[in-house]
Amino acid sequence: MSLTDSFVKNLKPVDKPKKFIDGDGLYLYATPVGLKSWRFNYRFQGKQQTLTFGTYPMVSLKDARDKLVDAKRSLKAGVNPTLQKKRLKATERAETEN
């Protein structure tokens, strides 16, 4: 069952950290303090990794699904999406400092 925007929006803080599966590897990770973050678990070169796309509502369900498609493209091309995200952030940081 896929998640809906109204479900995510109305989700109350949970008793303990919990995963709400959207499908295709994407899930919403909810914490007791009310934080909701989009995550994707994958394997790269035999190692389990987790990529976080951002927190809700800063990253909507649609945006998270779009980022999932991009991450899967990277994996298919043989590029680790977590390292790609780190490089992109480092480049953005360097550009703002200059």
Q: Give the DSSP per-residue string, the chain.
A: ----HHHHHHPPPPSS-EEEEEETTEEEEE-TTS-EEEEEEEEETTEEEEEEEEETTTS-HHHHHHHHHHHHHHHHTT--HHHHHHHHHHHHHHHHH-
pLDDT 10s digits, 27-62: 999 999 999 999 999 999 999 999 999 999 999 999
Q: Look at residue 29 in the predicted model and tell me its pLDDT.
A: 98
Q: What CATH architecture does domain 5-92 belong to?
A: 2-Layer Sandwich (3.30)
pLDDT in tens, 8-25: 999 999 999 999 999 999
Q: Tens of pLDDT along 55-91? A: 999 999 999 999 999 999 999 999 999 998 899 888 9
pLDDT exceeds cutoff 70 at 1: no
The pLDDT of residue 3: 94
Q: What is the pTM of this model?
A: 0.88
Q: Domain segments of the chain: what residues?
A: 5-92
User: Closest by alpha carbon to 37, among 27, 25, 46?
Assistant: 27
